[in-house]
Amino acid sequence: MITVESTEGETRTFDFTLTKDSSAFPLTGIESSLRLELTTRGGTTATLTSGVAVVSAAAGTVSYTPPDGTILTAANSPYKFRFRADDGTGKRHYFPNQGANLWIVRKP
């Protein structure tokens, strides 16, 4: 599990390496199904595709670029987040596969 810290309104790109069992998980063939699941501290979950990109499918490297200051706000922080990909055979993969990462957003 990782913790990301950012400032409200930040629109830079955040890079992540998706792993399973401590090894990078190759996304080749399932990269088009990649989603970011973001849950507010109040328990509301959004599944995002906008701003989510695969940097290297073979290396399991992905990125998320928030479009503006309305997605990640300090008022809804901290967020729990994880990435999800469906492999086309009915298997759903979560990263991390147990629990969730933490995203802390602070006011500027």
Identify the pLDDT of residue 106: 97
The CATH number of residue 97's host domain is 2.60.40.10
pLDDT digits 0-9 by tens, 34-56: 999 999 999 999 999 999 999 99
Structural domain of 45 = 3-106
State both tokens at 78: 């901290």
**DSSP per-residue codes, 12-56:** --EEEE-EETTEEPP-TTTGGG-EEEEE-TTS-EEEE-TTEEEEE
Q: How many structural domains does the chain have? A: 1
The sign of the CA dihedral 97, 92, 64, 26 is: positive
pLDDT digits 0-9 by tens, 59-69: 999 999 999 88
Q: Which residues have a Cβ under 8 Å from the Cβ of 33 and sit 6 or more positions away?
A: 84, 85, 86, 87, 88
Going by pLDDT thresholds of 50, 70 and 90, the confidence category of residue 20 is confident
Identify the pLDDT of residue 35: 96
pTM above 0.85, yes or no: yes
